Amino acid sequence: MNTLYHTYHESPLGTMLLTGTATHLRGLFFVGQKREKPVPAGSIEGDAPFKDVLRQLDDYFAGKPVTFDVPLEMEGTPFQKTVWKALQAIPRGQTITYAQLAKNIGNPNAVRAVGLANGCNRISVIVPCHRVIGANGSLTGYAGGLERKRWLLDVEQGGVLTGLGACPSSE
């Protein structure tokens, strides 16, 4: 069994919790967000396993164009993993609707299931579920809160950086 690690990291949007192994990121949450997973039992606290992702996150939050290249270990159903892979294909600064995402995975009738899978994403920012919007163009459903979703979309679209005044995983 792989040793588990965790660390906390300050971002312009609040404290983030990172979890993973020495080689793979398993979770990236805003502390206090909906569906935040607890620190894995027996995990070791420390930044060392996360040095690359922490650097990339700091660059991202500074508004720099970043291509996240950290290895991910996503735990979920095959359908969830398909949705999460499709999320990673949405270009920075662009948004799509849940219906477009369902069409992109070849299952245009699965809009509600796509929305549920999107909401179960455990690696925020890097697996950009914040880039999915409602059919009418409105910001909808983000576990980290709509203020954070708006901020993330603004920074990706070159906006001014300003501060902000449990899903099943069985196969």
pLDDT at 159: 64
pLDDT at 169: 37
Answer yes or no: are the C-beta atoms of 60 and 66 closer than 8 Å. Answer: yes
CATH topology of domain 78-156: Arc Repressor Mutant, subunit A (1.10.10)
Q: What is the mean pLDDT of residues 45-53?
A: 95
| Residue-range domain boundaries for the chain | 5-61, 78-156
Q: Are strands 14-20 and 5-11 parallel, antiparallel or unpaired?
A: antiparallel
Of the residues 117, 129, 132, 153, only one is catalytic, namely 129
Residue 63 pLDDT class (50, 70, 90 cuts): confident
Residue 125 pLDDT class (50, 70, 90 cuts): very high
Answer yes or no: are the C-beta atoms of 132 and 118 closer than 8 Å. Answer: yes
pLDDT at 162: 46
Q: What is the mean pLDDT of residues 136-157?
A: 85
Burial of 99 (0-12, 13-18, 19+ CB in 10 A): middle
Would residue 129 show up in a list of annotated catalytic residues for this protein?
Answer: yes
Class in CATH terms, 5-61:
alpha beta
Residue 171 pLDDT class (50, 70, 90 cuts): very low
